[in-house]
Amino acid sequence: MYRYDEFDEAFVRDRVAQFRTQVERRLSGALTDDEFKPLRLKNGVYLQLHAYMLRIAVPYGTLSSRQLRQLALIGEKYDRGYGHFTTRQNLQFNWPKLRDVPEILDLLADVEMHCIQTSGNCIRNVTADQFAGVAADEVEDPRPVAELIRQWSSLHPEFDYLPRKFKIAVTGAQHDRAAILAHDIGLRVVMNAAGEIGYELMVGGGLGRTPMIGKVVREFVPKDQLLTYLEALMRVYNLEGRRDNKYKARVKILVHEIGIEEFRARVEAEFAMLDGPSIPADTEELARITAYFAPPAYEKLPAIIPAFEAAKRANPAFAAWVESNTFPHRAPGYTALTISLKPIGKAPGDATSEQMRVVADLAERYSHAEIRVTHHQNLVLPHVKQADIFALWQALGEAGLAEANVGLITDIISCPGLDYCALATARSIPIAQSLQKRFADLSRQRDIGPLNVKISGCINACGHHHVGHIGILGLEKRGEESYQITLGGDATENAAIGEILGPGIVAEEVPAAIERLVGVYLAHRKDGETFIEAVRRLGLAPFKAAFLQEAADAA
């Protein structure tokens, strides 16, 4: 994992001191409320429905045990004993007091963490594949370049007052687990024909009111030119992005309005002007960072561990959990383990301070003290020996963390919705809970197989409903909550925006409607065909018919 040196440390300490003076200047009247607002947002402080919310950056979703314990402490001391992991791999506290925020920032700085640019019209926290450095289908670990971008984008003098927020996601793998096509910039580590490693850049993806899939802006950016290329791209966006309407201010709208060819031409023209002797070579810095991400010292283990196989045979519940919650590790005898934060009936992504401590301890004992946060709002222990999995499963079970539903229909992504959020038009968490209850039977979930349900409580789409296999969007119609159902969305390398099935339905009707859609799949699926594969083959029509029939029956 990356570790701060004296310069990184000084930087976050200075940032905390700066925020203290900003709060003081707001109180003294030197700053107006309008002026203070972006400053607090860029430190992760939102004003929500009932209280302030603090969003803590978890850069590229990587945490140490020490850091997770500190988050547990903060949750206990300054919140209500729990935190919420988000779709951008961050952690949110929903009940801190504004006056406590500088102290919380101090505690975060103590463990090399911060809230810098977790909100506001700036380059946000960089997200990454949760299996970075672990997955077998990887050209290269994307975390070093994510850290390089984190540093470069932190308090960038030129790009801190952009037209709108700007999100970057990176992956080094063939299979996209970081939803890079749904980001302002998606970056994929690739190898060119000459065998050199560089980056493919996608631009203009995003969800929100106007969902768009990212388009390739450049197929290959050499490693030592990445920051220069990003500078050129960000300059074009900063100068040309619309500022007349906040709903048209994201880079996706600029790309859409002028076309990807014109956008590319403008970026290339800017990039060509920057090309020259003044351009920094960042290769030494990247090499320095990369050294921190050297894989841990794995033991030489056989690929098959007899005791582990025996435990699975003896215990079907354990075997089921292993099947859904483990991911193949590139080192023989090891596994990457996903801990579901979606137990039936709980708020998706929530973890109590006690649970955070349990995970921190288990990571220390079994996973080189490392934890990942996924954009599906779960946690990962990336380096677990197969021989340890059974003991781990038992320990997780005691903490209520052994739900065997990763990737299944109850592993729902949900935004906080109207229970917390000032922007929400409808509730999200209760919808997730009602669906989880409807599909609680694990054998049924396993029969249905991989299915991503994603719920947003308003059109801003924080719950990624557009790219859910089944998406649920909560709106308000004539004072009533109304839920629009979409089908066929996909957040991976096959990225697609889901299509609306029909008129909105009320909350109580959602579980039955989803059940009908699942029913169509079960009736029509071919051997081994997943839900989304069946939707692609069958098209919308049979699902739409079933949905409309359900709506008619309910009326």
Considering only the stretches 29-37, 199-207, 415-423, 451-459, report the one whose residues sit in contact with another protein under the rule CB under 8 A.
29-37
Site string for another protein, 112-131 (x = CB under 8 A): ---------x----------
Which residue stretch of 26-34, 91-99, 441-449, 531-539 sits at the interface with another protein (rule: CB under 8 A)?
26-34
Nearer to another protein, 10 or 136 (CB): 10
Length reported for the chain: 555
Cβ-based neighbours of 278, under 8 Å, separated by 6 or more:
none
Q: Decide if residue 242 touches another protein (CB under 8 A).
A: no
Tokens of 493: 């390398």
Q: Which is nearer to another protein, 95 or 152 (CB)?
A: 152
- Rounded to a whole number of angstroms, the minimum distance from the CB of residue 233 to another protein is 12
Do the Cβ atoms of 143 and 153 come closer than 8 Å?
Answer: no
Residue whose CB is less far from another protein, 31 or 344: 31
CA-based Rg of the chain, rounded to a whole angstrom? 23
Residue 10 engages another protein in binding (rule: CB under 8 A): yes
160 touching another protein, by CB under 8 A: yes
Q: Does 245 bind another protein (CB under 8 A)?
A: no
**Distance in angstroms (rounded) separating the CA atoms of residues 159 and 155:** 8
Cα 483 from chain centre: 23
Helices (H) and strands (E) counted in the chain, each on its own, are 18, 20
Contacts within 8 Å (CB) and 24+ apart, 78-83? 78/103, 78/104, 81/352, 81/353, 81/354, 82/350, 82/351, 82/352, 82/353, 83/350, 83/351, 83/353, 83/356
Nearer to another protein, 284 or 447 (CB): 284
Least CB distance from residue 121 to another protein, whole Å?
7
Under rule CB under 8 A, residue 27 binds another protein: no
Is the torsion defined by CA of 353, 355, 360, 365 positive or negative? positive
Q: Is 161 among the residues that bind another protein (CB under 8 A)?
A: yes
Looking only at residues 275 through 334 of this chain, which bind another protein when binding is defined by CB under 8 A? 278, 280, 282, 284-285, 288
Confirm if 416 and 457 have CB atoms less than 8 A apart. yes
262 binding another protein? (CB under 8 A)? no
Give buried/exposed letters for 348-357 (b at 16+ CB in 10 A, else e). bbbbbbebbb
Work out whether 523 is an interface residue with another protein (CB under 8 A). Answer: no
265 part of the interface to another protein, by CB under 8 A:
no
Site for another protein in 198-227 (CB under 8 A): 227
Determine which residue in the list 129, 140, 231, 388 makes contact with another protein, applying CB under 8 A. Answer: 231
Window contacting another protein (CB under 8 A); options: 69-77, 233-241, 337-345, 370-378: 233-241
**Burial (CB count <10 Å: 0-12, 13-18, 19+), residue 28:** exposed
| Cα within 13 Å of Cα(315), Cβ side | 16
Helix (H) or strand (E) holding 125: none
Query: Which residues in this chain contact another protein in the complex, by CB under 8 A?
Result: 5, 7-8, 10-11, 14-15, 17-18, 21-22, 25, 29-32, 35, 38-39, 121, 151-152, 154-162, 227-228, 231, 235, 238-239, 243, 273-274, 278, 280, 282, 284-285, 288
